[in-house]
Amino acid sequence: MVALLKMGIVNSNALTTFTGFWLALHYNGLSFLHELDKMVFTLLGSSLIIAGSCSLNNYIDRDIDHLMERTKHRPTVTGKFKGNFVLTLGIILLLLGFACLLLTTPMAAFIGFIGTFTYVVLYSLWTKRTYTLNTVIGSVSGAVPPLIGWAALDPNLDFIAWMMFLIMFIWQIPHFLALAMKRVEEYRKAGIPMLPVVHGFEMTKRQIIIWVACLLPLPFYMHSLGITFMVVATLLNVGWFALGLYGFRTKDDIKWSVQMFVYSLNYLLILFGLMIVVVMF
């Protein structure tokens, strides 16, 4: 069941959802204890719709998952869960998730729907098997959790909320392109047109460094979070950019792609954790 619902994705998005909620509390001068019920519904609702979307993704990809090492043990491949069960479970989880978000604000539920539609329809059913831009399309859905968290308290999304969305959107592209380099032969075997499959490693490395460079100015637009945030976020960006540049010198592209992937995971954890901490003082 953990593999079916992709709990790693659910848990990582819980952090960004909570960050959006936490910053909305801060910028709107609200009390955490007074909004505790909304926080529960927000985290539960967002987690349910992400788990439901992942379940539908497993249902859609059950014909190709057996071709890839990282997905060949999913319950839809091993036969532990039948397709109809996975489809039904996904729909039920989505309905429960939207119901929870509606107990906060309609805007939060609407944003959750946009994320679901993008991931299930625009990404899983359409672009994933057709275009190299599938990574960009899929990144929209992964960027909405902070907006859901913020909208659960304040439907009039603040500039900071949109900056969190932008960070998440940009972050995902080099993150997943690095993963695609590591798993390039698996994607090739499955017939998925990821960028390194279609255009090779050199093009992919150039795209990665361009997207990482797009993150460089963003901390300065979030100056209201304070100098500590701007400095640490800038150091994180410069570090990732420097590691990206190193990719043009290394001869081991796979090892470099793993380093970029691991850095991106730590980047996200530190950056969004920092957003939470800096508004406490």
What average pLDDT does this structure show over 13-19?
Answer: 96
Q: What is the mean pLDDT of the chain?
A: 94
Is residue 23 predicted with pLDDT exceeding 80?
yes
3-state secondary structure 144-180: CHHHHHHHCCCCCCCHHHHHHHHHHHHHHHHHHHHHH
Phi-psi region at 81: left, alpha or beta (left = phi > 0; alpha = psi -120 to 50) = beta
pLDDT of residue 259: 97
What average pLDDT does this structure show over 120-133?
Answer: 95
Q: Is the dihedral of CA 187, 260, 55, 91 positive or negative?
A: negative
Of 80, 92, 27, which Cα lies nearest the Cα of 55?
92
What average pLDDT does this structure show over 122-145?
Answer: 96
What's the start-to-end Cα distance of the chain, in Å?
Answer: 40
Label residue 5 by pLDDT band (50, 70, 90).
low
Q: What does residue 191 show for φ and ψ, rounded to 5 degrees?
A: 75, 25
pLDDT of residue 279: 94
66-80, 124-138, 219-233, 247-261: least confident range: 66-80
Label residue 2 by pLDDT band (50, 70, 90).
low
Label residue 1 by pLDDT band (50, 70, 90).
low
What average pLDDT does this structure show over 9-34?
Answer: 94
pLDDT of residue 134: 96
Residue numbers of the domain that contains 143: 2-278
pLDDT of residue 157: 95
Write the CA distances from 136 to 69, 82, 145, 254, integer angstroms. 23, 31, 16, 22
Of 195, 181, 70, which Cα lies nearest the Cα of 128?
195
Distance (Å, rounded) from C-alpha 233 to C-alpha 220? Answer: 9
Percent of the chain whose pLDDT exceeds 90: 86
Q: Largest alpha-carbon pair distance within the chain?
A: 55
Q: For 93-115, write each residue's pLDDT tens digit.
A: 999 999 999 999 999 999 999 99
Residue 272 in contact with residue 17, Cβ under 8 Å? no
Number of separate domains in the chain: 1
pTM score, whole prediction: 0.95
Label residue 187 by pLDDT band (50, 70, 90).
very high
Is residue 3 predicted with pLDDT exceeding 60?
no
Q: Hey, what are 5's tokens?
A: 């619902």
CATH of the domain at 189: 1.10.600
What average pLDDT does this structure show over 188-199?
Answer: 95
Q: What does residue 155 show for φ and ψ, rounded to 5 degrees?
A: -65, -25
